[in-house]
């Protein structure tokens, strides 16, 4: 099974707020990948993998809202291959009600964006949100919805800020997206310290040198088994991300640089996040399906 743990979908760019969408448009101008986060584009992108998790997003600070209801609607289009995470803003009104609403809609977890929502991960209100998530058995993903804008508070995205959360909720699965970039070393130490803290690879495929250094660091620190596959669609593509991981040896071939074992790379791509994160997704059947990836571990194309 290959499950993409970080994808996005929205009905219109306006759902992201004016400042964030303008930043996305500037950042991705001229890139090969057109920013299309429609359900149809997502369905096409995940054809080559077993399934995907769709993350919602809410930020009252940015005037952004991709609501729980929309994420649930997307999942209902293909419940056997899609899993939904509700975007919760702990600084918005009724944050516990936001969590309960996600549960009532059948969403499997919660995602927060500390920098874009303007809160420290260990803020007292946020801690109550995690307590409610823990009560419902829901994992929490800390993830950016695109590039940061000027209103965002960068220091709140530091992985180390989650240390207090992990100490207080040692059994609640926490995922740090993008390995906490640019604080990757800090994220690796967090993974080594806490049994239920994980990280995903979203957003790194288009930066191959950083991907190489990140996976090399994870391997040398003995935490590669805590890394989960994720693309960050629509800003990256699942198959391109798999290709980038499997071609990682291109940076070390013929040099004295150490290489990440091929078995480690394959394990990252094929790791089961449903089992690792104890996700309750009764409708998802990806784990019982033969993976349909079109890329093999040697970076070549598989026959249909």
What are 97-142's pLDDT values in tens digits?
999 999 999 999 999 999 999 999 999 999 999 999 999 999 999 9
Instruction: Judge whether 300 lies within some domain.
Output: no
Residues 234 and 41 sit within 8 Å (Cβ to Cβ): yes
Q: What is the reported pLDDT for 33? A: 54
Instruction: Judge whether 297 lies within some domain.
Output: no
Residues 65 and 57 sit within 8 Å (Cβ to Cβ): yes
Using DSSP, state whether 59 is helix, strand or coil.
Answer: strand
Instruction: Judge whether 62 lies within some domain.
Output: yes
Environment class of residue 287 by beta-carbon count within 10 Å: exposed (0-12), middle (13-18) or buried (19+)? middle
Distance of CA 9 to the CA centre of its chain: 13
Q: What is the reported pLDDT for 295? A: 52
Instruction: Judge whether 301 lies within some domain.
Output: no
Structure token digits, residue 200: 């995903």
Instruction: Judge whether 303 lies within some domain.
Output: no
Residue-averaged pLDDT of the chain:
91
Distance of CA 139 to the CA centre of its chain: 12
- CATH code of the domain covering residue 237: 3.20.20.140
Weakly modelled stretches of the chain, pLDDT under 50:
287-294, 299-304
Instruction: Judge whether 296 lies within some domain.
Output: no
- Structural domain span for residue 112: 3-288
Instruction: Using the structure block, give the residue that is written with the tokens 């400042």.
Output: 19
Instruction: Judge whether 181 lies within some domain.
Output: yes
Q: What is the reported pLDDT for 31? A: 59
| Structural domain total, the chain | 1
**What's 295's DSSP letter?**
B
Instruction: Judge whether 293 lies within some domain.
Output: no
Q: What is the reported pLDDT for 280? A: 87
């Amino acid at each position: 099974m290959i499950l993409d743990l970080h994808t996005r979908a929205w009905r219109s760019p306006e759902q992201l707020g004016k400042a964030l969408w303008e930043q996305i448009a500037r950042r991705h101008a001229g890139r090969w990948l057109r920013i299309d986060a429609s359900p149809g584009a997502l369905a096409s992108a995940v054809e080559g993998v077993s399934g995907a998790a769709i993350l919602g997003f809410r930020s009252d600070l940015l005037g952004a809202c991709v609501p729980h209801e929309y994420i649930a609607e997307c999942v209902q289009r293909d419940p056997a291959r899609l899993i939904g995470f509700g975007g919760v803003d702990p600084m918005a009104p009724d944050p516990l009600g936001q969590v309960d609403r996600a549960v009532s809609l059948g969403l499997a977890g919660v995602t927060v964006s500390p920098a874009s929502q303007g809160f420290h991960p260990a803020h007292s209100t946020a801690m109550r949100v995690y307590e409610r998530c823990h009560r419902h058995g829901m994992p929490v993903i800390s993830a950016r919805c695109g590039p940061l804008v000027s209103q965002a508070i960068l220091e709140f995205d530091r992985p180390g800020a989650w240390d207090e959360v992990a100490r207080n909720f040692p059994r609640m699965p926490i995922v740090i997206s993008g390995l906490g970039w640019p604080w990757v070393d800090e994220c690796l130490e967090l993974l080594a310290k806490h049994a239920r803290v994980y990280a995903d690879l979203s957003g790194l495929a288009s930066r191959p040198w950083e991907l190489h250094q990140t996976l090399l660091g994870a391997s040398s620190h003995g935490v590669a088994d805590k890394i989960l596959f994720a693309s960050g669609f629509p800003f990256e593509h699942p198959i391109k991300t798999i290709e980038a991981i499997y071609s990682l040896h291109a940076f070390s071939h013929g040099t004295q640089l150490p290489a990440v074992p091929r078995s480690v790379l394959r394990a990252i791509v094929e790791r089961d996040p449903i089992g690792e994160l104890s996700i309750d997704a009764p409708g998802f059947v990806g784990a019982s399906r033969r993976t349909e990836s079109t890329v093999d571990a040697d970076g070549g194309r598989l026959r249909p």
